[in-house]
Amino acid sequence: MATIKDRASVPAGSGLNDDIGEAKRLELYRTQVVLREAEQRAYDLFLQNLVKGTSHLSLGQEAVAAGFAGAMQKGDLSFCTYRGHAHTLARGVPVEKVLGELMQRDNGLMRGKGGSMHLTSVEHGVMGSYAIIGAHLPIACGAAWRAQYKGAKDVSVCFFGDGTTNIGAFHEALNFAAVWKLPVIFVCENNLYMEYTPISEVTAVEHPAADRAASYGLERIVVDGNDADAVYRIAQTAFTKARAGKGPSLIECMTYRHSGHSRADPAKYRPEGELERWKLRDPIKIYRERLLQFGVAETVIKGIDNEVRKIVDDATEACKAAPNPPFDIITTDVYADGGWAWRN
């Protein structure tokens, strides 16, 4: 079974290598704190019965979203799964819009028409969160095909979990992207569990994404997904490759989900001590220590924490005060004429 020992096969964070610079590091830290605070708040609001439906949190996986978002340029496109809150927030979508959608209020990103699993913000490059496993890998290929056809320089980035590597669409998309040399980056967040079952129990290879890369003529890449610097560096490499017309990348980020699969899952299937071991490698803890190593003052870090906390508090209050969606949107936007008419 894949456990924390897999860390041994992951390249270590590169210590005091200051290739990233303080401004970017503070950005990477802040993004992770936004994701952590907003998702922790979503969980609290769920316990208060204010977040409805389901929700799939990325608590513990923030470094992947922050590292990739930090390497993206305006115009780059994100394709997410139902575990997409973090990737949506990381592209700069306001916390209030995301919490509003989770709370199914009229101020939500899609006014409650999509819900937690379908966060979409085209103006921020978030081209959707897809709740059918694997569906968005081919879709990201299509967006990348458009960039290639138009001679545009944007890159499509597709985030998915380890469980996705065992569905057909994963393999169709990888082959398709490789054959067409598309500017797309496939990012597997390997959090060790497909849903409730360890990925190692249902997968023929140790690294469910990276060990399949060779089948599609791609490099085998495994990265420490709890280290935002490591993720940011590998993301930059993949973006450079994609923008140069050299085709797709497949990157497996080793990480861990602090919460269960979804709100209904207490994650009792985890072996004793596993969560605690991974919490020692909490991406935000790691990053806070790194900032201190680089001489960032504790007051600066605390300042970011407080600023983000206030944003999330204000968003929470705004969402609690927001009205429910009106009934007249039930029949809007079924078709492009804005309505739902299927007959004359």
In the numeric block, which tokens belong to residue 152? 């545009």
What distance in Å separates the CA atoms of residue 238 and residue 144, rounded to the nearest whole number? 14
Which residues are at the interface with another protein (CB under 8 A)? 77, 109-111, 113-115, 118, 120-122, 127-128, 130, 132, 134-147, 149-150, 156, 168-169, 172-173, 175-176, 179-180, 329, 332-336, 338, 340-344
Give the nearer residue to another protein in terms of CB position, either 94 or 198. Answer: 94
CB 295 to another protein: min, Å: 43
CB 216 to another protein: min, Å: 11
How many Cα atoms sit within 13 Å of 145 on the Cβ side? Answer: 12
Strands 249-254 and 77-81: unpaired
CB 284 to another protein: min, Å: 30
CA dihedral in degrees (73, 55, 99, 92; nearest 10)? Answer: -10
CB 339 to another protein: min, Å: 11
**Of 22, 122, 55, nearest to 259 (Cα)?**
55
CB 156 to another protein: min, Å: 7
Give the nearer residue to another protein in terms of CB position, either 15 or 323. Answer: 323
Supply the angle between the helices 22-47 and 228-243 in degrees, to the nearest 10: 110
How much is the CA Rg of the chain, to the nearest whole Å? 20
Give the nearer residue to another protein in terms of CB position, either 43 or 180. Answer: 180
Give the nearer residue to another protein in terms of CB position, either 12 or 329. Answer: 329
Do 218 and 250 touch, CB atoms closer than 8 A? yes
CB 82 to another protein: min, Å: 12
Do 68 and 160 touch, CB atoms closer than 8 A? no
CB 334 to another protein: min, Å: 5
SS3 category, 134 = coil
Give the nearer residue to another protein in terms of CB position, either 51 or 110. Answer: 110
Looking at residue 103, its amino acid is: M
Give the nearer residue to another protein in terms of CB position, either 15 or 168. Answer: 168
Residue 330: DSSP 8-state: T
Q: Residue 89 burial (CB < 10 Å; 0-12/13-18/19+)? A: buried
Q: 3-class secondary structure for 203-220?
A: CCCCCCCHHHHHHHCCCC
How many angstroms separate the Cα of 72 from the Cα of each of 125, 152, 153? Answer: 10, 15, 12
Beta bridge partners of 126: 78, 121
CB 148 to another protein: min, Å: 9
Give the nearer residue to another protein in terms of CB position, either 123 or 276. Answer: 123
Contacts with 49 (C-beta within 8 Å, 6 or more apart), sequence order: none
SS3 category, 328 = helix
Give the nearer residue to another protein in terms of CB position, either 67 or 325. Answer: 325
Give the nearer residue to another protein in terms of CB position, either 45 or 147. Answer: 147
CB 74 to another protein: min, Å: 15
In the numeric block, which tokens belong to residue 262? 């979804």
